[in-house]
């Protein structure tokens, strides 16, 4: 197998995730797109681990999975709080810090 | 038991390694096409529950890629943590925020053309950089990495990051409870 086929797949997944983060208005859907981005990074880490025959990339992929789980927990709590305060999770309406 | 032995490439492992490579590439093509389609549906569908279910397919595809790369422990962890826990958390989030279903105006930004432009530009730049720097560098996986090797590495070289991550996970979960708790008790 060619190394680049994994890296290009990860790049495509990353770009789809970036599009989702920028184009979505729903808070939960933005968090889903962030998950796509994190998974693209994980594919890169594991592909380089297989390429260099070292285990470190896989260990860091496991760390990224743990951090992603924590991120979803806190992110969904924040979205829930926004919903409770404003009765909507439309991110374009959350502009209190806008000058 | 070796998970790679169950996967599609190894079924044909009795024949010579050329056939194995072809089988691996076919498996990769199928997985990649499924993943990209479902990832695209995650960011394009108007139904938020469908987006979460397409996310399951995309994450399972990532796990399949991990197993194809011989990282079986990471693949299994991916299935356990993402499909088992994170997607359920998302479905709870959707349920608790009672998002309006099938409502086009409520899910997409008005400036999604600029978002698409950004993503395409990023894809072009990244693809150029990757093809330029790696070309057709080959990757050969003789043996899948065992769980023993991964755990040896975590509990010797990376023991301090491991403890830091466990502490961070605890802090994040307590933080999530504190943030999501109602002010008037319970």
**What average pLDDT score do residues B28-47 get?**
93
Residue A99 located in a structural domain = no
CB distance B157–A35 less than 8 Å?
no
Is the Cβ of B164 closer than 8 Å to some Cβ of chain A? no
Nearest to A56 among B36, B140, B153 (CB): B153
Q: What is the pLDDT of residue B100?
A: 59
Q: Is the pLDDT of residue A4 over 70?
A: yes
**Domain at B37, CATH number:** 1.20.120.1200
Residue B100 located in a structural domain = yes
In which domain, by residue range, is B24 found?
3-143
Phi, psi dihedral angles at B140 (to 5 degrees): -120, 125
pTM score of the predicted model: 0.87
Residue B29 located in a structural domain = yes
- Among the residue ranges B13-17, B65-69, B90-94, B143-147, the one predicted with the least confidence is B13-17
In which domain, by residue range, is A30 found?
3-93
Residue A68 near residue A42 (C-beta atoms within 8 A): no
**What average pLDDT score do residues A24-41 get?**
92
* A53-61: Cβ within 8 A, 24+ apart: A55/B145, A55/B149, A55/B150, A55/B153, A56/B153, A56/B157, A56/B158, A58/B71, A58/B73, A58/B74, A58/B145, A58/B150, A58/B153, A59/B150, A59/B153, A59/B154, A59/B157, A59/B158, A61/B66, A61/B71, A61/B74
Residue A71 located in a structural domain = yes
What's the mean pLDDT when you consider all of chain A?
Answer: 91
Is the Cβ of A59 closer than 8 Å to some Cβ of chain B? yes
Q: What is the pLDDT of residue B116?
A: 93
Residue B71 located in a structural domain = yes
pLDDT digits (tens, 9 = 90+) for B118-138: 999 999 999 999 999 988 888
pLDDT digits (tens, 9 = 90+) for B1-12: 455 444 544 444
Is the Cβ of B8 closer than 8 Å to some Cβ of chain A? no
Q: Is the pLDDT of residue A47 over 90?
A: yes
pLDDT category of residue B105 using cuts at 50, 70 and 90: low
DSSP of chain B, one letter per residue?
--GGGGSHHHHTTTS-HHHHHHHHHHHHHHHHHHHHHHHHHHHH-S-HHHHHHHHHHHHHHHHHHHHHTTBHHHHHHHIIIIIIIIHHHHHHHHHHHTPPTT-HHHHB-TTHHHHHHHHHHHHHHHHHHHHHHHTT-B---SSPBPHHHHHHHHTTTTHHHHHHHHHHHHHHHHHHHHHHS-SS--
Query: What tokens were used for A13?
Result: 């997944």
Q: What is the pLDDT of residue A84?
A: 87
Q: What is the pLDDT of residue B14?
A: 47
Phi, psi dihedral angles at A24 (to 5 degrees): -85, 145
Is the Cβ of A63 closer than 8 Å to some Cβ of chain B? yes
- Total domain count, chain B: 1
Q: At what angle do helices A3-23 and B17-44 cross, to 10 degrees?
A: 10
- Total domain count, chain A: 1
Residue A98 located in a structural domain = no
Q: Is the pLDDT of residue A61 over 90?
A: yes
Contacts of B46 in chain A (CB under 8 A): none
Of the two residues B10 and A23, the one the predictor is more confident about is A23
A30 vs A65: CA distance, rounded Å? 18
**What average pLDDT score do residues B143-154 get?**
90
Predicted-complex ipTM score: 0.92
């Amino acid at each position: 197998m060619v190394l680049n086929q994994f890296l290009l797949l990860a790049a495509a997944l990353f770009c789809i995730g970036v599009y989702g983060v920028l184009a979505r208005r729903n808070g939960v859907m933005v968090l889903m797109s962030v998950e796509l981005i994190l998974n693209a990074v994980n594919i890169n880490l594991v592909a380089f681990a297989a390429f260099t025959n070292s285990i470190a990339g896989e260990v860091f992929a496991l760390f990224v999975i743990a951090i992603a789980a924590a991120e979803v927990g806190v992110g969904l709590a924040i979205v829930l709080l926004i919903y409770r305060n404003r009765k909507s999770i439309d991110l374009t309406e959350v502009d209190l810090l806008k000058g | 038991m070796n998970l790679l032995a169950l996967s599609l490439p190894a079924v044909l492992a009795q024949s010579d390694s050329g056939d194995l490579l072809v089988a691996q590439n076919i498996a990769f093509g199928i997985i990649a096409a499924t993943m990209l389609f479902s990832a695209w549906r995650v960011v394009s569908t108007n139904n938020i529950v469908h987006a979460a279910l397409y996310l399951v397919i995309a994450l399972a595809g990532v796990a399949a890629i991990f197993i194809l790369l011989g990282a079986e422990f990471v693949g299994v962890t991916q299935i356990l943590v993402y499909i088992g826990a994170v997607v359920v958390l998302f479905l709870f989030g959707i349920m608790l925020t009672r998002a309006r279903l099938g409502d086009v105006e409520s899910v997409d930004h008005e400036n999604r053309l600029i978002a698409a432009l950004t993503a395409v530009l990023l894809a072009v730049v990244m693809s150029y950089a990757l093809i330029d720097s790696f070309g057709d560098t080959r990757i050969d996986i003789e043996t899948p990495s065992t769980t023993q090797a991964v755990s040896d590495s975590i509990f010797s070289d990376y023991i301090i990051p491991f403890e830091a991550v466990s502490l961070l996970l605890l802090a994040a979960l307590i933080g999530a409870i504190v943030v999501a708790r109602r002010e008037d008790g319970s």
